[in-house]
Amino acid sequence: MAIPKVAAIHDLSGLGKCSLTAAIPILAVCGVQAVPMPTAVLSNQTAFESYTGADLSIYMPMIAEEWKKRRAEFQGIFTGYLSSEQEVKWVEGFIDEFRKEDTLILVDPVLGDEGKFYRGFGDEMCCAMRNLCKKADVITPNLTEALFLLGKDAALAEQGEPLEIVEQYAKELSKLGPSTVIITGIHQGENIWNVGFDAVNKECFSVSTRKIGEGYSGTGDILSSVVCGCMVRGESAHQALEKAAKLLEASIAEAVEDGTDPNEGIAFEHHLKLLMD
Ligand code: PXL
């Protein structure tokens, strides 16, 4: 089988093992080619105390134009952290232009965590992301992002909502359009749960990992990259989520053992082999 291609629309951050530095190796190990559309080049992800970088949004239309000339076809389009509402809007147009019948559209609606927006984001970005989610087949918000997208109080994420309620949230979000919704990072006692809803089979599924260490950079991006790679190669969302949880658990455990700064991300490189079968 020819190697499937996924247009991966994320930033390229030097330190922090998130966005493209997670997506490229993870898709590769799944047997999928990441075709990067870098939205920005940054020294590091934005949760470090400072960062520098260059916004590449003016180049994105030119890159897309060249891809059109090459007649590039994608079996997946995968978006994550986007830096402005205009960029989100542009990505909608990119999806309209490049989507084929069999293209899996995965939108990770990166907006915030722990009940709060990330630096520079607010209600307008949330509104833009909600519109982008309407174009997706799969979305992977964390609980904070799910609450923002539903217009609910995101502070509820801090308490960790009961799983039955989160299943309801996943069902509500699927009404925006995506046939699969995976809500990640629900804290319950010793575990962190990820709750999915498959609107085609009308089935909920959930997968947990042991809660270890602190909130590490890039874990959401790693989860969505695994889901993207596994689903593009034909696995179900549930199977994909199981693999993502295994990779996260092993990689977080190693980061804890190494005493890694949470901003630096987790030791996923040593565990990519978990995705090989
Ligand atoms: O992991 C999400 C993410 C991706 N890219 C950048 C970020 C963040 C989260 O803070 O800052 C640049």
The predicted-structure confidence for 106-145, as pLDDT tens digits, reads as follows: 999 999 999 999 989 999 999 999 999 999 999 999 999 9
pLDDT range class, residue 1, cuts 50, 70, 90 = confident
Q: Can you tell me whether residue 275 is helix, strand or coil? A: helix
Q: What is the pLDDT of residues 75-114, one digit of tens each?
A: 999 999 998 999 999 999 999 999 999 999 999 999 999 9
Domain count, the chain: 1
pLDDT at position 165, please?
A: 96
Q: Whose CA is nearest to atom 12 of ligand 1?
A: 45
pLDDT range class, residue 158, cuts 50, 70, 90 = confident
Ligand 1 close to Cβ of residue 18 (< 6 A): yes
Domain that holds residue 34: 5-271
CATH value at residue 245: 3.40.1190.20
Q: CA 120, CA 125: separation in Å to the nearest integer?
A: 9
Ligand 1 close to Cβ of residue 251 (< 6 A): no
In a domain, 48, yes or no: yes
Asked if the model's pLDDT at residue 171 lies above 80, the reply is: yes
Q: CA 142, CA 102: separation in Å to the nearest integer?
A: 26
Ligand 1 close to Cβ of residue 245 (< 6 A): no
Q: Whose CA is nearest to atom 7 of ligand 1?
A: 45
In a domain, 116, yes or no: yes
Q: Whose CA is nearest to atom 8 of ligand 1?
A: 45
Instruction: Give the distance (Å) from ligand 1 centre to CA of residue 23.
Output: 13
Q: What is the pLDDT of residues 209-258, one digit of tens each?
A: 999 988 899 999 999 999 999 999 999 999 999 999 999 999 999 999 99
Q: CA 109, CA 112: separation in Å to the nearest integer?
A: 9
In a domain, 19, yes or no: yes
In a domain, 277, yes or no: no
In a domain, 208, yes or no: yes
In a domain, 276, yes or no: no
Model-level pTM greater than 0.75? yes
User: Closest Cα to residue 17, out of 49, 50, 53, 42?
Assistant: 42
Distance in angstroms between the alpha carbons of the first and the last residue of the chain = 16
The phi, psi pair for 40, rounded to 5°, reads -165, 155
Nearest ligand 1 atom to the CA of 217 is 1
In a domain, 110, yes or no: yes
pLDDT at position 157, please?
A: 87
Nearest ligand 1 atom to the CA of 221 is 1
The DSSP result for 125-180, as a single string, is HHHHHHHHHTT-SEE--BHHHHHHHTTS-GGGGGT---HHHHHHHHHHHHTTS-SE
